[in-house]
Amino acid sequence: MIRCDACGRKMQAAIRDAIYYRCRASTLTPGSPDRFAVPHRAELAIGVVVAGAAATIDIRSAIGFASFGVLVYSAIANISAAALTAAEGRPIRAIPAVGLTGCLVLAFTLPGPSVLAGAAVVAVGPLIYTARRRPTDSDIT
């Protein structure tokens, strides 16, 4: 985790691959109470997406789609927890295994269209990552 210098929010960074997640917050003055609020652009973007979804699709489908995304995120977190070493505070091996199993079972018991839409959106992430990734010296053989 890294902390944004502008607003103090915590962000994840994959230093190994030179990927840094930049905070999109507007410039804030030091000590500003807005430092701990949601960035205005993010708030507006989420509002537009939610309003568009509410106006165009069935809310039950949106809930199923969002549930699939949350369950996939939780499954990845359980896989990450299983990969920890004992020195890093790994939980008992059964805990991430049960968590991963529960996430997968719940994710695939959602309505089919929600699973397909969620899987399509999840698949777009690695495609964008691959398209935007800059080759490094280790990639050249």
State the Cα–Cα distance between residues 37 and 132, nearest whole angstrom.
Answer: 29
Owner of token pair 């899987």 = 119
Distances from the Cα of 6 to the Cαs of 3, 12, 41, 70, 72, in angstroms? Answer: 9, 15, 15, 28, 31
How confident is the model over 36-57, as a mean pLDDT? 79
How confident is the model over 66-91, as a mean pLDDT? 90
Instruction: Tell me: pLDDT of 94 over 70.
Output: yes
What is the pTM assigned to this prediction?
Answer: 0.60
pLDDT, residue 74, reads 94
